[in-house]
């Protein structure tokens, strides 16, 4: 799955799986042992087994790619952090607000004091990006 496919996937991710994705987004390609060390601060066999199982689950969800070309397998996220976050937000909007993002944005703007730079970025984004049409949607 590439970043262009991010709108097409619907997937639930457990907190432990999300932690592994965050490591991959921050570090890039990593081995199971490296991720275990970062998350647990050690590499006990049970900890490595847990990370390997979580990676298998992420791989089955097409969120992680396993490179089997070397003896020690490497893992990479197949979706960017931004695409994943956007997808999760859209799923939440579909569940709670019939797909509208306005209540979420309103809450974020009112609940968090935005810097001038952040407000300018939001204005620019709204002015430059026309509303995307979803597949099958009419104007």
Taking CA atoms, 32 is separated from 47, 54, 56, 72, in Å, by 10, 10, 11, 9
Return d(Cα 139, Cα 128) in angstroms, integer: 18
pTM value is: 0.75
Q: Is the pLDDT of residue 83 over 80?
A: yes
pLDDT tens digits along 21-42: 999 999 999 999 999 999 999 9
Highest mean pLDDT: which range of 6-15, 51-60, 91-100, 121-130: 51-60
The residue ranking higher by pLDDT, 129 or 57, is 57
State the fold for domain 3-77: Arc Repressor Mutant, subunit A (1.10.10)
Q: Domain segments of the chain: what residues?
A: 3-77, 100-130
Return d(Cα 4, Cα 50) in angstroms, integer: 30
**How does DSSP assign 32-86, residue by residue?**
HHHHHHHHHSS--HHHHHHHHHHHHHHHHTTSEEEE-SSSS-EEEESS-HHHHHH
Q: Is the pLDDT of residue 131 over 70?
A: no
In 10 A of CB 69, how many CB atoms? Answer: 7
Q: Which two tokens stand for residue 132?
A: 């995307």
* Predicted pLDDT at 51: 97
Q: Is the pLDDT of residue 61 over 90?
A: yes
Q: Is the pLDDT of residue 133 over 60?
A: no
SS3 30: strand
* Predicted pLDDT at 6: 42
Return d(Cα 109, Cα 49) in angstroms, integer: 42
């Amino acid at each position: 799955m590439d970043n262009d496919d991010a709108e097409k996937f619907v997937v639930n991710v457990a907190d432990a799986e999300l932690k592994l994705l965050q490591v991959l987004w921050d570090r890039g390609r990593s081995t199971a042992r490296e991720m275990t060390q970062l998350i647990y601060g050690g590499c006990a066999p049970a900890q490595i087994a847990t990370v390997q199982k979580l990676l298998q689950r992420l791989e089955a969800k097409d969120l992680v790619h396993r490179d089997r070309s070397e003896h020690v397998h490497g893992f990479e996220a197949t979706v960017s952090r931004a695409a994943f976050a956007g997808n999760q937000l859209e799923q939440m909007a579909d569940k709670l607000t019939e797909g509208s993002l306005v209540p979420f944005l309103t809450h974020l703007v009112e609940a968090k004091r935005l810097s001038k730079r952040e407000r300018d970025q939001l204005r620019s984004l709204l002015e430059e990006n026309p509303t995307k049409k979803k597949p099958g949607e009419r104007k």
